[in-house]
Chains A and B, each alone.
Chain A
């Protein structure tokens, strides 16, 4: 890998340059990986023969025929071909999807209300992790100066160096950088779709494991090193090795196999934050903004156009009734049904097996046969029923939201801009979820939020900041 660096290699720099090569490898992997990841998924694979009635499940505790919820990406497990319900592939707002199926039974008004009622809860279930990720990124940016120091090293995907003196050239080079980066992402996504179509699952899984390995071990090591430097903490290598080893191994287990839901969510948030910090550091100033804009346009095209790679990916996955790489998607579903297998149900063993196989088995797996028992169990866990269907958001979305807010925080000391971008992104996410509830299909989560975020960033930075500064100087209040 050619590293663009103008440093003379010294002892420290040798390590850093090795690090840069790993960074570029990893960034390559990740660009590819979340080239498809910034999607908001909506379950549309449940076909017309779904007969469950969720409202009756909540109210009457009958056998509610809740669909099976397969999240395992271990393809060696037997797929049940006899179940007519289909499996939610990567379900977003499932309740609207489920509610949609019972259109014949309930009037439209009630369906809308159920949509809104569940929609609000899911919006909050996404607000919290997005907020946490942004808080981590902003806190790091404001305290650890490493991530705001400009280096002469750049990622290989932004080969043109911006010259701060000439506006025209800077603009041109940032556009060129963007073109390069987006082309890399497009190529990677197409490769991924091709691999997925031809069922090269082992390759894909291996690559994902390698990339999360890099992120959990190497990037967190770098991050910890910078934090220790900032706070002048003395640390020895054995202790650090043990910390990083434990952190990384538990992370790998949680993300790729199974673990407590909260821990998995925490790890996904942390790795999104780490990746966002890397982008904030290594993307040149203007290129970063243009890339953000371009990637939301690409997201829009790739998900909504009939021949878009992401749409093809989602449709292929839905045809095969497979989940899409749960390791790279944040899921907010609650834990229920784990270990609740009924002892005199012969299928409970099957369920347990499926539980073990699933990467996100916490979401609960239930076969068609113990639906009746499940219904009775669900009576007692009625209030959990609402929470067992989570919303899913790709990690790429977390990363780019945090990049936007982090860059807003990195420029100058103005907190108003950061706060404005934060609110704008949350509102964009809310609107996207509203659209998801209306259209009920996979939607890109980036465009609206990033557009709002960019608009608010530039307008707050250039218009609101001088106004508020003048007001604060005179202590006028509006």
Chain B
């Protein structure tokens, strides 16, 4: 218990998103604002869905436990749907804002593309969702106590942390894929994202049967991650170039603009031009057209 569990669960749940924030978002003020606005939109969706659930609870018989549980499950699914609606609303808002930012093209990369906004918005949703799921649990884990003293599972904290991590990453991937689908008007993509989200929420209903919920959720996370990678313009070519050249060469002295190795868009190399990946800083590669 206490500090070990607290730090362990905190790092499991928030480590990757914190790293993503520090390395890709913190330097750019516009991305920070988009992140916080994304968090705000997720919060709005949660607020509305809690309102609906609360009304349903108050209107029903509070003694009937199965009814309460059923209403909670309804609340879960309704909240998922509302989150996706708000994701779409945020997409529309960002599209409107892009027109305002679109003409800043002659500057040093201060413009932000829709793909970057998709990633940042997804991460905003993910961080807020993770924070709301995990923070109270973390603060409880600091204090004295026995986990599962009434017969519940002992692995509460660690599974909560793992589930939070999966959900944060999933929100990020869904953001990328969703915005891409909206951009290209591929409505099946949107339907797929919504159904995946519903599936993940449904799988979490199997808790505390953790074998039924955690491995499938992680499989879905991996699959969605791969989907998001290819959807945002990555390719096997760029992956292999990443692996061979980056680890191979030592730090070069070229000063090129850094391209972080996350899901930010890497436009496909134009046919007929070879693009070389050159390291500019430890662990970071940038692309130079040859």
Contact = CB atoms under 8 A, between A and B. Distances in A.
Contact of A478 (B40, B83, B137): B83
Interface in A384-432: 413-416, 419-420, 423-424, 426-427, 430
Contacts of A127: 32, 36
Label chain A's interface by main secondary structure: helix
Contacts of A123: 29, 33
A120 B205 contact: no
B156 A475 contact: yes
Nearest to A465: B50
B132 A117 contact: no
Given A423-B36, A478-B79, A120 B47 contact: no
Contact of A420 (B43, B51, B107): B43
Contacts, number: 120
Interface residues of A, number: 40
B118 interface: no
B167 interface: yes
A113 B106 CA distance: 12
Interface stretch (A154-162, A204-212, A466-474): A466-474
A198 interface: no
B70 to A, nearest CB: 12
Contact of A475 (B53, B110, B207): B207
A471 B29 contact: no
A121 B139 contact: no
A367 interface: no
Interface string A266-277: 000000000000
A67 B44 CA distance: 43
Interface stretch (B96-104, B221-229, B248-256, B268-276): B96-104
A278 interface: no
B189 interface: no
Contact of A416 (B29, B136, B164): B136
A109 interface: yes
A474 B32 CA distance: 33
B76 A471 contact: yes
B50 A117 contact: no
Nearest to A475: B207
A124 interface: yes
Contacts of B36: 127, 423, 426-427, 430
Contacts of B53: 467
B33 A124 contact: yes
Given A121-B29, A424-B40, A430-B36, A472 B103 contact: no
Contacts of B205: 476
Contact of B159 (A419, A467, A475): A475
A293 interface: no
A32 interface: no
Contacts of A468: 50, 132-133, 136
Interface of A: 109-110, 112-113, 116-117, 120-121, 123-124, 127, 413-416, 419-420, 423-424, 426-427, 430, 456, 459-460, 462-464, 466-472, 474-478
29 contacts: A109-B103, A110-B103, A112-B100, A113-B103, A124-B29, A124-B32, A416-B132, A416-B136, A419-B131, A420-B43, A426-B36, A456-B47, A459-B50, A460-B47, A463-B50, A464-B46, A464-B132, A466-B50, A467-B75, A470-B72, A471-B72, A471-B76, A471-B133, A474-B69, A474-B207, A476-B201, A477-B163, A478-B79, A478-B83
Given A124-B32, A462-B54, A475-B207, 14 more contacts: A113-B100, A116-B100, A116-B101, A117-B107, A123-B29, A413-B136, A419-B132, A419-B135, A420-B43, A426-B36, A463-B47, A467-B46, A475-B163, A478-B46
